[in-house]
Amino acid sequence: MKTAYELAMERLSKAAPAIKLTSAQKKQLAELDSTYAAKIAGREIALKDEIAKVAMAGDSEKVEALQQQWVKERKSLQAELEEKKEQVRRGTVAK
């Protein structure tokens, strides 16, 4: 007797079969992950330094604005990464 999980996984695989990735696609996905991890880390370091300077100056409003900017930038970069990864999975060129 199959568990509910196994039945759900069978239905899922019928509805959307798993995509087989080539080694080149896997390599592209890994490169994208690495590139965007570096971009995100770079922006985080730059904004954290700026936030620290503003916090020392005592401008709490600007600190909050910079924190919100960081959240928006991180989400934007992550969305861009996912879009490019999806292009690779579909077989279209993404760089």
pLDDT in tens, 2-28: 899 888 888 877 776 667 888 999 999
* CB burial of residue 28 (10 Å; 0-12, 13-18, 19+): buried
SS3 81: helix
Instruction: Name the token pair of 93.
Output: 């060129």
Tokens at 67, concatenated: 């924190």
Domain boundaries, the chain: 23-90
Average pLDDT, the chain: 89
Residue 69: closest CA among 85, 50, 93: 50
Residue 94 has pLDDT above 70, yes or no: no
pLDDT at 95 over 60: no
